[in-house]
Structure 1
C-alpha cells in the first residue's frame, strides 16, 4: 500500500444515510442525519440532548489548508498522513478536560472512530475568538507597520517579535459575513472590538448581554488550562482560536458550549519551550508549514495579499509540494498529539473502510 493510499483526502463521499447535501469544509465534512436516525441514536445511546435534536456525523480528513487554499504533494499525496487523527485526538483531549474541570461542554456527543465525531447541531456565536499570549504572526506584521490598536486594545511601544504580551489579549473577528452592524464591514474575518459585540450582541447570536462575559470567561479559562498543561510538557501556548455555540440539553436547558476544535496545531500556535528559551522559535503547529510555503515560492506576496487570491489558488493547484515537506508536517502533528495525549497515535491503513464498517454495524447509519 502506498503512502497516498493511507491518507484520507476525500471525506464527503461516505454512504451515510442523509437527506441533505454533505457540507464539506477545508478539513471536515458534515453529514446531517435524518430526523429518524437522530431520534433513534439519542434514545439508544442516551445522549444528553433534546429528543428532537438534529445530529450529524463529522468526518475529518488529512487535507492541509493554509492561506485559504488546499495543498498537495508529489506522488499523489493529497494530504498529510496522521494529520486528521492527530487533530481529533488533541481536540478530544482538551474538550474532555474542559468538561471535567467544569468549564463547559462541547458539541461532541460520541467518538465512533479516531476520524469521526457524532455532534449535535449548535446555534453558533458568529465570532472567531482569538486569544494571544505572544506578539507574532499577523499582529507582529501590523505592529511593525505602526499599528498599535488591535480590536480596540492599545498595545504599548517597544514590543519585540515573539515577546510575551503584558496580558492575554482577546482579539475577536467576525465568523462569516454579518450585515447591518454599524462600523463592521460586511466581509468575513473582520476584526471587531468588545464594544462592537456589546452594542450588537444579538447580531452575533448571543442570547443575552451577560453571555459576552461568559464567553470571555470560557475563553480565558480554556486558554489558561491548555497553556498550563502544555507548560508542564515544556511547550509554549502562543495563541489560539475558539468558537462557541448554544445547544439545548435533555432537560430543555440552553447552554453555551465550545465547538469546532480546540488547542490543535491547526487552530493554535505552539512553540517548543527549550528552543524558545534559546531565542529560537520552533513551531509545533501549522505555522511551520505556512512559513515553509512563504520561503518555498519566489513571490510570498501572493500568499499574503488577499487581492491576489486567483494567483494563490493557481499556486496551490499547480504545485506538487515535495513529499519530504508533507512528511515533516506529519511528524509535527503526530508528535505533538502524542505529547499532549500521552498515548501513541493509532494510524489506520484504511480509515474509510473502518469508518463505514463501524457506522454500519454499531450505529445503523449505512444501508
Structure 2
C-alpha cells in the first residue's frame, strides 16, 4: 500500500492558529490560510481509522478545477495551489451553515422520505416519489455546520429566526448556490454524468461573500452516470454512482451508521485499496483527464515546503 497522509503537524513562524477538520488540516496566518487535503476519510460525520492513499490529492485537484471553472459566476477564496495536496487562500469568516442543494431524491433525503417525512428543511416534497427520482425543481436543504459531531438539518426560516445568517446575506447564499448547481450540472452533463446533490460553504472576506472549501468533489457531491439512468429508474434498479456513497454502503452493510453505541468496523487493506482506486476513477471520470499520482516518498517535507514558500 502506498503511504497516505493521516495528519500533519507543522509549525510555521507566521502561523497564528491551526484547525483540524474531518479531512483537512488548516494552517492560519494573518490574512491567509493554507489548507492541506489529507487522506482521512469520513462518513456519517465520523472519521474512519485508516487513511485512503491519494484521496487528498484527488479532492484537492478536483476542487481546484471546479473553483477555477466557477470563479466567474461566484468569487472564491483561492489564491494559489502550490502542491497536489495544498491550497492557499484568503482567510474568511465562515457562515455557520452548509448550503445543500438536491436535484434528485437520494441519500439522506431519500432516507428521510422513506421514513415518512414529506418536508425536509421546511421544503415540501410530493407524494409518490421513488429513490433517485428527479425532483420537480432543485431544492435547498441547509444544515448546521458542527465543529464536532453531526451536522443537523435546518430550515431557511430557522436560520433567519436564529440570526445565524442575515436575510440579506442568505439571499446571496441561495443565489450563489443555485448558480453553482446549474454550472455543475452542465459540466457534469458534458462528462456523461448527472450532478445529483452537493453542498457549498461560504465565508466573508472584507465584507465580500466568497465560496470556500471544496466544490463538486466526490466528498461533497453525488453523481450518477447519465447512461442507463432512465432505464434503471423504470426498472427499480440502483443507479451507478460516482460518490462516497459506496463507502457509506460498505459501512451500513457492516453495521455502522454513526449512531450511538455503534463501532466503526475494521477496514481490511483490500477495502482501503479499493476505495483509493475508486477515488482515482472518480477523478478521471469527473475531470476527463488521467490522474497523475504525486511522489509521496517525501510527502511531509514536500507539503511543508510548499506552504512555507507561498505564505
TM-score (norm 1): 0.77
3-state SS of paired residue (1:147): coil
Q: Report if aligned partners of 1:89, 1:341 keep a CA contact under 8 Å in 2.
A: no
Shift of 1:358: 3.2
Q: Which residue number in structure 1 is paired with residue 24 of structure 2?
A: 28
Shift of 1:188: 5.5
Alignment pair present for 1:190 and 2:152: yes
Q: Pick closer, same or farther for the CA change 1:289–1:188 going to 2, 3 Å.
A: closer
Q: Which residue number in structure 1 is paired with residue 104 of structure 2?
A: 134
3-state SS of paired residue (2:280): helix
In structure 1, the gaps of 5 or more residues are 36-53, 73-77, 178-186, 249-253
Q: Report if aligned partners of 2:191, 2:288 keep a CA contact under 8 Å in 1.
A: no
Q: Which residue number in structure 2 is paired with residue 356 of structure 1?
A: 304
Shift of 1:128: 1.2
TM-score (norm 2): 0.90
Q: Pick closer, same or farther for the CA change 1:277–1:331 going to 2, 3 Å.
A: farther
Structure 1: distance between partners of 2:226 and 2:287: 18
Q: Report if aligned partners of 1:85, 1:345 keep a CA contact under 8 Å in 2.
A: no
Q: Report if aligned partners of 2:74, 2:180 keep a CA contact under 8 Å in 1.
A: no
State the superposition RMSD in angstroms: 2.1
Alignment pair present for 1:257 and 2:210: yes
Alignment pair present for 1:59 and 2:13: no
Q: Report if aligned partners of 1:124, 1:205 keep a CA contact under 8 Å in 2.
A: no
Deviations 1:165-218 (A, max 9, x none): 1110101121238xxxxxxxxx96232222223334xx3244xx2322211111
Structure 2: distance between partners of 1:211 and 1:235: 32
Q: How many residues align?
A: 303
1:10 to 2, 7, 20: 7
Deviations 1:22-60 (A, max 9, x none): 311111111122x4xxxxxxxxxxxxxxxxxx2121111
Structure 2: distance between partners of 1:244 and 1:345: 28
Q: Which residue number in structure 1 is paired with residue 136 of structure 2?
A: 166
Q: Report if aligned partners of 1:15, 1:356 keep a CA contact under 8 Å in 2.
A: no
2:197 to 216, 239, 243: 239
Q: Which residue number in structure 2 is paired with residue 106 of structure 1?
A: 76
Structure 2: distance between partners of 1:276 and 1:323: 32
1:303 to 234, 257, 264: 257
Q: Report if aligned partners of 2:105, 2:135 keep a CA contact under 8 Å in 1.
A: yes
